[in-house]
Amino acid sequence: MATALTFDPVTLPPAAEALRSEVRQFVAETLGNEHRRNSDFGASHDPEFSRALGQRGWIGMTWPTKYGGGGRSFFERYVMTEELLAAGAPVGAHWIADRQSGPLLLRYGTEAQREFFLPKIIAGECFFSIGMSEPDSGSDLASVRTTATPVEGGWLVNGTKLWSSGAHRNHYMITLVRTPTESESRHAGLSQLIVDLRNSSGLTVRPITNLAGDAEFNEVVFEDCFVPADRLVGEPGNGWEQVTSELGYERSGPERFLSAFRVFVELLREVGPKPTDHQAAVLGRMAAHMMTLRNMSISVAGMLESNRNPVVEAALVKELGNNFEREVPEIARLVAPGGGSALFRQTLEDTILHAPSFTIRGGTREILRGMIARGLGLR
């Protein structure tokens, strides 16, 4: 029987709206008022900016105060991330640690892990990567082959991770590995280890250049890489549950529909105050799509705020959002009058080069659609 997905309408509370002007002012003061190039969270890395955010209390905003977190709501976090992305601020360094590694440790980590890692993340001084995908395991994540064998005092890891964003610059990578199990289930025997990317022997990180010419992601090779026992997250064999618990955080935020936002802004500037009827209709449709996606994403923030795990709703936000952000540069190319200003062209060209990845990173279209169909009871 088909089930409905419910996105309750949510109005942002006054505390969240108050934060908006604070973030805008901070961005203007810190980055200057010049227009940022693009809003793609994965395309930037600026540890100094991350530290400045940390000093304002804008990393780990929703985490408990006992670890130095802000104890604030997911709505406030939503507004803060939305404003930073809209401004094209360089948020890439701390993004993964703030979005999902910290919440994972809060849920499954040991007290010692929380006390060690969370304050550093919150200060904007400790950055994390995600080590899930492998050369033959992307969509079918349960087929990962990297192994962790128990040895005296820890684990020996062997295998290869692929497309690990930022692993050449970050401090740690939460790595999905196969640990010994009696069970024949593909989901059993998966575990997560925190790998020190800077101080491990038997570890090689090789940057891979993306379409835009940037070193963004990596191949990470483990050859008898020792990981101490206290770097296991949660119980051995519980990795599948843990990895899937990250998805609500990973897939629902404004970074899933705002990656091309600067193109939209510059396009509006290009078209100016007297659009043709065709331009007005196209721009209006884009704005309406964006506002709908925004309402859905805020609604998911509300679900996270009430401790729900909105994996299917997040998949829907990502799927619709990624399609939208891929369309923006295509539409801009057709609608813009003439060649456009240098800034418009630069923003557009940069986004065109990054856009193919929007519907691949964090789960492909086909996989998300399968999840949504299952969530609706259609599969």
Ligand X SMILES: Cc1cc2nc3c(=O)[nH]c(=O)nc-3n(C[C@H](O)[C@H](O)[C@H](O)COP(=O)(O)OP(=O)(O)OC[C@H]3O[C@@H](n4cnc5c(N)ncnc54)[C@H](O)[C@@H]3O)c2cc1C
Contacts to ligand X by CB under 6 A: 42, 129-133, 138-139, 163-165, 217, 357, 360-361, 363-364, 366-367
CB-nearer residue toward ligand X: 52 or 142: 142
Which residue type sits at 345?
A: R
Instruction: For ligand X, give the closer residue by CB, 131 or 310.
Output: 131
Alpha-carbon distance 131 to 166, whole Å?
Answer: 10
Quick one: 54 or 131, whose CB is closer to ligand X?
A: 131
User: Residue 329 half-sphere exposure, CB side, CA atoms within 13 Å?
Assistant: 24
Q: Which is nearer to ligand X, 69 or 131 (CB)?
A: 131
Taking the least distance from each CB to ligand X, the nearer of 42 and 69 is 42
CB of 216 to ligand X, least distance (A): 6
C-alpha dist (Å) from residue 91 to 104, 145, 336:
20, 32, 28
CB of 348 to ligand X, least distance (A): 19
Report the nearest approach of ligand X to the CB of residue 263 (Å). 18
Q: Which is nearer to ligand X, 117 or 163 (CB)?
A: 163
Minimum CB–partner distance for residue 369 and ligand X (Å): 8
CB of residue 161 vs ligand X: minimum separation in angstroms? 6
Q: Which residue is nearest to ligand X (CB)?
A: 138
Considering the complex, what minimum distance in angstroms separates the CB of residue 51 from ligand X?
22
* Whole-angstrom distance, CA of residue 187 vs CA of residue 189: 7
In degrees, to the nearest 5, what angle opens at C-alpha 257 toward C-alphas 355 and 358? 30
DSSP string, 317-367: HHHHHHHHHHHHHHHHHHHSSSS--HHHHHHHHHHHHHGGGTTTTTS-HHH
Helix, strand, coil content of the chain in percent (nearest 5): 50, 15, 35
The amino acid at residue 104 is L
Two tokens, residue 203: 């570890």
